[in-house]
Structure 1
């Protein structure tokens, strides 16, 4: 099996596995909560997206990882983390739901754009990630699933 197939399978299995965790353990705990209370733990995960700055650290990523990808991933993750903080800081605000929509759209688009840019635009191979290889196969699928759960919370009738 070539490295691209292994990478794609790993991402798919990551999304499937994290979806199972969300369905079995997260959703049952939060589905009856208010929008604020249900989204707080999910937002808290995203404040750690500063970890995307690691894409800018030589030696952590492979020497062939394009700078265009690294800077885009870092800026996107810092933006998403900042928006998550904004949401957490505005839980008592009438604007919370609006901020949550903005965070969720921007945060998910950042992740999807990174996959698109990395594979389609820049033709990055999995080995180019170096030590950061585990980000897109483990952490990113988890973040994608949390974004989906937040969308489910936002679209339910009770909020």
Structure 2
């Protein structure tokens, strides 16, 4: 099998495995939690995204890695991680917490989507061996991150609809 095929297979199977795990274990637990605690769990996972700076650490990735890929991936992860940490620090101040939760999810999801775009445009699968140890981040950790962004945003929409329904019922009675 070619490196491109192996890389793409790993990436797809990373999503499949995390989706199966998420549907069976993670999402049901998050839905049972109050909205703040569920978002704290997700923010805690994303607070480790500072580790994405490893993409620009000399000696970790190979010299043949396309130059347009690593800096955006590194700094996008770093920004997302900082926003997630700030959200965790601001949990007692809901007026600050919720915008930070939205922020780390939007920035993080855009980061991953743009990284995929750069990866395709720069033919990253063909040189995926040059990801070095960061290969595991891309095929194991990133699928979970993207899935939890989707869950976080859907939980926020659901809790907003629920809060709206409670307010409407209270006003009607």
TM-score by length of 1: 0.91
Q: Is the 8 A contact 1:34 1:158 kept in 2?
A: no
Q: Does structure 1 residue 143 correspond to structure 2 residue 145? A: yes
**Unpaired stretches in structure 1, ≥5 consecutive residues:** none
The Cα of 1:15 is off from its aligned counterpart by 0.9
With CA pairs under 8 Å and 6+ residues apart, which has the higher RCO, 1 or 2?
A: 1
Q: Is the 8 A contact 1:3 1:126 kept in 2?
A: yes
The Cα of 1:22 is off from its aligned counterpart by 1.3
Other-structure match for 2:82: 82
**Unpaired stretches in structure 2, ≥5 consecutive residues:** 164-173
Other-structure match for 2:111: 110
Number of residue pairs the alignment of both structures matches: 158
> What SS does structure 1 have at the residue aligned with 2:15?
helix
Of 91-100 and 42-51, more deviation after overlay is shown by 91-100
> CA offsets per residue over residues 10-59 of structure 1, 9 Å max, x none?
11111111111111111121212221111111110111111111111222
TM-score by length of 2: 0.84
1:9-158 alignment, distance < 5 Å: 9-92=9-92, 93-120=94-121, 122-124=122-124, 125-156=127-158, 157-158=161-162
Q: Give the root-mean-square deviation of aligned CA atoms.
A: 1.5
> What SS does structure 2 have at the residue aligned with 1:40?
helix
Q: Is the 8 A contact 2:46 2:84 kept in 1?
A: yes
